[in-house]
Amino acid sequence: MGLSAINKYSKAKKVGEGTYAVVFLGKQVQTGRDIAIKEIKTGQFKDGLDMSAIREVKYLQELMHINVIELVDVFSAEGNLNLVLEFLPADLEMIIKDREILFSPADVKSWLLMTLRGVHHCHRNFILHRDLKPNNLLLAPDGQLKIADFGLARSLGAPNEDLTSNVVTRWYRAPELLFGAKHYTEAVDLWAIGIIFAELMLRVPYLPGSDDLNQIDVTFQALGTPTEDNWPNVSSLPGYNDLKIYPEPSRQELRKRFIAATESALDLMSGLLQLNPAKRWDTEQALLSNYFGKELPVPTKPENLPKLTKKE
């Protein structure tokens, strides 16, 4: 037992810097394996370790799944905590933006399947990710998709515990969060997956609100304004006021917006984008849906998925 020694790893170059960490590329000396090292800034030593860092360590030490980023090791050096993570050279956002790549429906299905599997594993362990977006879905050299960035993750709250609604990057935020709900569930992650699914089909962000207010408008313009009829008690949520009432889109309208989508793809997307979180599909329903079960094409094998055309 005990933390590893620093000399088991070599740091090559700095590749990124966030609010609480600096990321380096490096190698595991003994095996030559490529790895990423997230050096957590503790230099200021004011409140101790940042909450995001705590959450990341806390959950990644427990979760083990092919579609969740692997925490290979942890070591401390010069008073800093270093997370050794598997090396993941690309993310889904980069792939979506790479105009030279063509997606086949089988590719989209494959990425969505891996996302749902990873999130299913989190939910099975009562962990909400709370920040799903293409940028946090990383891609391994062998094509496997890995859910990363658990800095906002938390355990499903107890019934009397308040949660903050200030989670999830705006474009992927579920309606209950837009309304400022203090109690919510795994359903917030499924909404985000629904939006990611739409983005994979459209190749542009589906509901790009310019600010929090505009996000509400953009969301309900596309998917209809929730009412007491389809979502009992929605009007008692703190942010439910002064809403423009938009009708729910007809199936025909959805077909027009998502031209290439099959009927079962639309079924799945609509299930994930149910306004009422109680009616929204969970990971199991999604994974067992016809889109994955009965309908062709079968998902592309991860190793055959398109890769970035230009190297950075």
Partner 1 sequence: MAADYWTSTQRMKWQFTRDSLKNTRLELIKLEKSMEDSNLISKIPMDYDIYMRIYIHSLINKLGRRLNIRQIALSTAEVYLMRFLTKVILKEINLYLLVTTSIYLACKLEECPQHIRTIVSEARNLWPEYIPHDITKIAEFEFYLIEELDTYLIVHHPYKTLLTIDEVLSKRQKFNKPQLNDDDNVNDNNNTNNNDNNNNNNNNVDADDLNNKRITSFLTPEELQTSWSIINDSYVTDLLLLYPPHIVATASIYLTIVLKYTHIQQLRLEKKNSNGIGTNDLNPNQFRYKNDESLQNYINFLGYSNIDLEEVIEAVQELITLYEAWESYDEVKCKKTLEIVLLNRS
Residues that bind partner 1 (CB under 8 A): 1-3, 42, 45-49, 51, 54, 57-59, 61-64, 74, 76, 79, 81, 124-127, 154-161
Complex with partner 1: residue 157 or 205, whichever CB lies closer: 157
Cβ 101 to partner 1 shortest distance, Å: 36
Listed residue (3, 62, 11, 68) closest to 39, CA to CA: 11
Complex with partner 1: residue 3 or 204, whichever CB lies closer: 3
Dist CA 129 CA 34 (whole Å): 26
Is residue 131 among the annotated active site residues?
yes
Phi, psi of 26 (to 5 degrees): -165, -170
Complex with partner 1: residue 125 or 210, whichever CB lies closer: 125
16 known ligand binder:
yes
Dist CA 91 CA 88 (whole Å): 8
227 known ligand binder:
no
Cis peptide, bond prior to residue 141, ω within 30 of zero: no
Complex with partner 1: residue 3 or 12, whichever CB lies closer: 3
Query: Sheet containing 9-17: which strands, arranged edge to edge?
Result: 9-17, 21-28, 34-40, 80-86, 71-77
Token couple for 164? 């903050």
Helices 187-202, 105-124: crossing angle, 10 deg rounding? 170
228 known ligand binder:
no
22 known ligand binder:
yes
21 known ligand binder:
yes
Cβ 234 to partner 1 shortest distance, Å: 23
Cβ 84 to partner 1 shortest distance, Å: 11
CB burial class (10 A; 0-12, 13-18, 19+) of residue 73? Answer: middle
User: Which of 107, 131, 149, 189 is an active site residue?
Assistant: 131
Cβ 270 to partner 1 shortest distance, Å: 30
The residues carrying an active-site annotation are: 131
Query: Which residues are annotated binding-site positions for ATP?
Result: 15-23, 38
Query: Which residues are annotated binding-site positions?
Result: 15-23, 38
